Amino acid sequence: MMIRVVLPVHLRTLAKSDREVQVDVDGQVTQRSVLDALEARYPVLRGTMRDHVTQRRRAFVRFFACEEDLSNEQPDASLPEAVATGKEPFMVVGAMAGG
Amino acid sequence: MSGIRVLVGTRKGAFILTSDGKREQWDVDGPHFGGWEIYHVKGSPVDPNRLYASQSSGWFGQIMQRSDDAGKTWEAVGNKFAYEGEVGEHLFYDGTPRPWEFKRVWHLEPSPTDLNTVYAGVEDAALFRSTDGGQTWNEMAGLRTHPTGPFWAPGAGGMCLHTILIDPRNRDRMYIAISAAGVFGTDDGGKTWRPMNRGLVSEGIPHPEAEVGHCVHRIAMHPSRPDVLFMQKHWDVMRSDNGGDSWHEVSGNLPTDFGFPIDVHAHEPETIYVVPIKSDSEHFPPDGKLRVFRSRTGGNEWEALTKGLPQRNCYVNVLRDAFTVDQLDPCGLYFGTSGGQVYASANAGDSWEPIVRDLPPVVSVEVQTLP
């Protein structure tokens, strides 16, 4: 399934990508499977959204879709149907913090 | 004619300042990696076109960048810094144990002999090495797993390994410094390490003359005399004449002996420089006067260098990695401030000119002397 992912500006710069990219996910569409596919397509993003070792989400990276904050959902929980069908994007967002 | 390339890391990007050997006219290129914190940029002594940069942010973590064309283009390389084996714990600010957690790369030290070997000093304090140009990083775990490791604690800026010195006579001999653990040395290429803090006295820690726990801000060495080391400690300017086995104070007539950087003249191994800061609670120059102090006697006797530097209403700081010297004659000096100025002296400190005044806060300054 082709999943739409919207990246924040600094990750777009690193990935040399547009604001929205598409990644192909086999099987269940979850945070983990989408991020795995995203990192496989753009290896430079490894470690920028979740820790290399623990795979935990970085504290100031948030995930949104369908106007919902999915940041604290389980990594293997299914994402909304609208994300899985490509109707809505999965959004990676840098939290509003800092200076 | 020779050339100069100054590599500036700031809170919001990297800048590359270039000049010919006269060091009068400067081109300013940047920002590179705009919006990211650039703790350090340093060139390889083997090929000056090879640059390494530490790029990080509180949002997206650590990125490592490499250039093979002197910063015209960059390639993101490996950013996985995984501690070896059992991670273990160190002391936190409140004295409780806290697991080691990688936060960022503070300092990069490219090998003097191998283009693709580079060392990285990181927070939480550890030493990593890459032998493939930064693509992969492996911890030199003998340091962090030293028996004193559980007693290391962070300084105010974090528990960072910020200084890496390699003995030019013997590449297996290295010194590193950690805030706030102190100096450690190795004679076997980093397999084993020993604390080298004898003679340091730090009020405010439980045992002022402890083997570890000292907030060493910077150490420096002249390549012609690698057994002589100079140190800017939190408070106190120190000197060792026996390769770090013991230290003695050389603060002498400095107006304050708190500060961050210390460096050595390129051609005069007894000429050293510091930038005194008022105190640990007021990180700005005393009396609002930005003064570099020079000792031509290896310490104790210091003179203020003020020409061209602001002597009123100046309240900037100069961080530990933000002072450096070139290899020309007369020796050039460069430093950056928390106010975004980068000052240069083409005459060993007798007078100064700002290269650029309004960068983001400067974290690090390195210089390359080009053929």
Locate the chain A residue with the closest alpha carbon to B79. Answer: A47
Total tally of structural domains belonging to chain A: 1
Min Cα–Cα distance to chain B from A84, Å: 25
Q: What pLDDT, on a 0 to 100 scale, did the predictor assign at position B205?
A: 84
User: Which class for B37: exposed (0-12), middle (13-18), buried (19 or more C-beta within 10 A)?
Assistant: buried
**Which chain A residues are closer than 8 Å to B81 by Cβ?**
52
**A55 contacts chain B (CB < 8 A):** no
- d(C-alpha B197, C-alpha B194), whole Å: 9
**B80 contacts chain A (CB < 8 A):** yes
Please give the residue that has the higher pLDDT: either A52 or A98: A52
Residue A9, domain extent: 2-94
Rounded alpha-carbon distances, angstroms, from residue B7 to A1, A38, B29, B258, B290: 45, 33, 10, 26, 22
Q: Which element (helix H / strand E) includes A20? A: strand A20-24
Instruction: Quote the tokens at residue A93.
Output: 């967002």
Angle ∠(B332,B338,B339) on CA atoms, nearest 5? 90
Mean of the pLDDT values across residues B262-284? Answer: 97
Check CB contact under 8 Å for A95 and B59.
yes
Check CB contact under 8 Å for B60 and A53.
no
Residues 6+ positions from B128 with CB-CB distance below 8 Å: B81, B105, B119, B120, B122, B137, B138, B139, B140
Q: What pLDDT, on a 0 to 100 scale, did the predictor assign at position B206?
A: 83
Indicate the SS3 state at residue B180. coil
Locate the chain B residue with the closest alpha carbon to A62. Answer: B59
Superfamily, domain B3-370: YVTN repeat-like/Quinoprotein amine dehydrogenase (2.130.10.10)
- d(C-alpha B207, C-alpha B220), whole Å: 25
Check CB contact under 8 Å for A52 and B80.
yes
Domain annotation covers residue A99: no
What are B229's strand-pairing partners?
Answer: B221, B240
Locate the chain B residue with the closest alpha carbon to A46. Answer: B79
- Structural domain boundaries in chain B: 3-370
Among left, alpha and beta (phi > 0; psi -120 to 50; other), residue A87 is: alpha
User: Do strands B13-20 and B174-179 pair parallel, antiparallel, or not at all (unpaired)?
Assistant: unpaired
Mean of the pLDDT values across residues B274-279? Answer: 98
Q: What pLDDT, on a 0 to 100 scale, did the predictor assign at position B1?
A: 61
- d(C-alpha B224, C-alpha B322), whole Å: 23
Min Cα–Cα distance to chain A from B79, Å: 7
Mean of the pLDDT values across residues B317-343? Answer: 98
Q: What are phi and psi of B15, to 5 degrees?
A: -135, 145
Domain annotation covers residue A28: yes
Min Cα–Cα distance to chain A from B76, Å: 7
Q: What pLDDT, on a 0 to 100 scale, did the predictor assign at position B50?
A: 98
Instruction: Quote the tokens at residue A5.
Output: 């992912």
Check CB contact under 8 Å for A98 and B62.
no
User: Which class for B245: exposed (0-12), middle (13-18), buried (19 or more C-beta within 10 A)?
Assistant: middle
Domain annotation covers residue A16: yes
Domain annotation covers residue A49: yes
Contact B232, B266 (CB under 8 A): no
Q: What pLDDT, on a 0 to 100 scale, did the predictor assign at position A98?
A: 61
- Mutant choice from A13, A44, A52 vs B, greatest count of B C-beta within 10 A: A52
- d(C-alpha A55, C-alpha A43), whole Å: 15
Whichever domain contains A44, its CATH number is 3.10.20.30
Q: Does residue A99 carry a pLDDT above 70? A: no
**What is the ipTM score, two decimals?**
0.94
Calculate the CA B33 to chain-centre distance: 21
Q: pTM score, two decimals?
A: 0.97
Q: What pLDDT, on a 0 to 100 scale, did the predictor assign at position B104?
A: 97
Q: Does residue B156 carry a pLDDT above 90? A: no
**Which chain B residues are closer than 8 Å to A39 by Cβ?**
none
> For A42-84, what is each residue's pLDDT tens digit?
999 999 999 998 999 999 999 999 999 999 999 999 999 999 9
Q: What pLDDT, on a 0 to 100 scale, did the predictor assign at position B204?
A: 81
> Given A10, A11, A47, which is nearest B62 (Cβ)?
A47
